[in-house]
Structure 1
Amino acid sequence: MPIPQSRGLVSRSLLRENAYRAIRDAIVDGTLAPGERLSDAELVAWLGVSRTPVREAMARLEQAGLVRTKPGRYTMVSPLDVRAARAAQSVTAAMHELAVREALPNLSAAELGAMRDANARFADSLRRGDVDAAVRADDDFHGVAVTACANPAVRSVLEQFTPVLRRLERVRFSSLSGRSSVAQHNRIIELCEAGDVDGAAAAARANWQTLAAVLDTALPDDDGDGTDG
């Protein structure tokens, strides 16, 4: 067959996406700390890519609220910002409510089983104090409905705003307060099994709204950038 003229676009796209995800994950897990200055040259050396995917990743991360830039001066990891986090929480809670509402009529027994399995891994991770595993299992739990709803707009919005909240989830899941999510997840599953669309959707929203306690205690109530101007 004729050779596609767009040859090579897939690999470039993967480079961009891999660079974005690697830097994003390092910010979320605290490897790159709030307020830390970021150097293109150091990121290029770390990731083994050219400057172009790094700069594209920086633009996406700034849009997501994970980095701040002042052209010609600095790029830095955004400080934890209570107002940005509350805004992200409101949007994320609404999107998970919508995902469950749209997914539930078509959720299969296998998908409900996947939710149970993810919640069991979540509970085990919390017992062991493995925050990274707890976050992955929580992603897997909520990801069932996000995938099943087949709404690309929901996924796109969540990919933008969830990382801001995952920085907070690490605070929550490292404490005993995170264990309440296990029971909340079980309640969501029960309501899904019962076919209660309104109840399950409301429970999904409520689960994400419980981050309010972390927002009230873990973050400074300002948006300072940690710089001298």
Structure 2
Amino acid sequence: MPVPENRGLVRRSLLREDAYRAIRDAIVSGTLAPGERLHDADLVAWLGVSRTPVREALGRLELVGLVRTSPGRHTVVSPLDVRAVHHAQAVVAAMHELAVREAVPHLAEGDLAAMREANVRFGAAVRAADVDGALAADDAFHGVAVTAAANQAVVTVLEQFTPVLRRLERLRFGSLAGRASVAQHDRIIEHCAAGEVDAAATAARENWSTLAPLLDAAEDTGERPGSADPAPRGG
């Protein structure tokens, strides 16, 4: 078949995705703080891309609630909206429950070994207050079931809503509260290894529901977790 005339689509697509991920990750990590104004020129210079992928990235970030754009086109990093995080948490927990439910019949010993290894890294990172390491290991742990489930709808929903939770998780994994997740992960692995689909799925959902106390505390005190300083990082 003839080569399409509209060439360069792959490269432009990658530029858009790279710009989106870079800005998203900077917001989640606290590098771009809540309330900080985002100027197109600064983002273009930082990312080394044109204005178009930057504007498209900001549009996607606005849809998930990580930035806000005023009628005058001023874009700022959103404060953490506790109600929005509650909603995102419910969706993410349900998606991970579904992923585990669909994954358990397909998990091989290698998958279980990968989950165990990720949880060991997760525990070590939490104890060292290495927030970046803890989040990476947590992603690896839960990613085993998401990959095994092979459900693209789950992947798409998680890609949209998980970043909304990450700013809150940075506080949690920088404290002793994050250590409870190690035992919760172990229970998920045990149920998966035993082929206990319902128990494994329930344990996965409960694991993603443990952010609720931090949200409740934020509502009770009027604090906004996303406006706090980033949790300490390990070396």
Q: TM-score, normalised by structure 1?
A: 0.93
Query: Counterpart of 2:230?
Result: none
CA contact (8 A) 1:81 1:222 kept: no
Matches within 5 A, 1:43-192: 43-192=43-192
Shift of 1:41: 0.9
Shift of 1:5: 3.6
What amino acid does structure 2 have at the position aligned with 1:19? A
CA contact (8 A) 1:105 1:195 kept: yes
Q: Deviations over 1:38-64 (max 9, x none)?
A: 111111111010000000000110111
* Aligned counterparts of 1:214 and 1:104: Cα–Cα separation in 2: 30
Aligned length: 224
- Unpaired runs of 5+ residues, structure 2, are 228-235
Shift of 1:35: 1.2
Query: Counterpart of 1:37?
Result: 37
* Aligned counterparts of 2:172 and 2:218: Cα–Cα separation in 1: 9
Shift of 1:216: 1.4
Shift of 1:221: 5.2
CA contact (8 A) 1:20 1:58 kept: yes
Shift of 1:214: 1.1
Q: Does 1:13 align with 2:16?
A: no
Check 1:145–1:6 CA distance in 2 against 1; reply closer, same or farther (3 A cut): farther
- Unpaired runs of 5+ residues, structure 1, are none
What amino acid does structure 1 have at the position aligned with 2:132? D
What amino acid does structure 2 have at the position aligned with 1:163? P
Shift of 1:178: 0.3
Matches within 5 A, 1:195-210: 195-210=195-210
Q: Deviations over 1:144-178 (max 9, x none)?
A: 11111111110100001000101100000000000
Shift of 1:21: 0.2
SS across alignment from 2:38: coil
* Aligned counterparts of 1:146 and 1:73: Cα–Cα separation in 2: 37
What amino acid does structure 2 have at the position aligned with 1:100? V
| RMSD over equivalenced CA pairs, Å | 1.7
What amino acid does structure 2 have at the position aligned with 1:59? G
SS across alignment from 1:71: coil
What amino acid does structure 1 have at the position aligned with 2:208? W
What amino acid does structure 1 have at the position aligned with 2:144? V
SS across alignment from 1:174: coil
SS across alignment from 2:203: helix
Shift of 1:7: 3.0
Give aligned-pair identity as a percent: 71
Query: Counterpart of 1:194?
Result: 194
* Aligned counterparts of 1:2 and 1:74: Cα–Cα separation in 2: 44
What amino acid does structure 1 have at the position aligned with 2:48? G
* Aligned counterparts of 1:218 and 1:31: Cα–Cα separation in 2: 21
Q: Deviations over 1:88-117 (max 9, x none)?
A: 000000000000001111111111111111
* Aligned counterparts of 1:50 and 1:169: Cα–Cα separation in 2: 32
* Aligned counterparts of 2:171 and 2:127: Cα–Cα separation in 1: 15
Shift of 1:4: 4.6
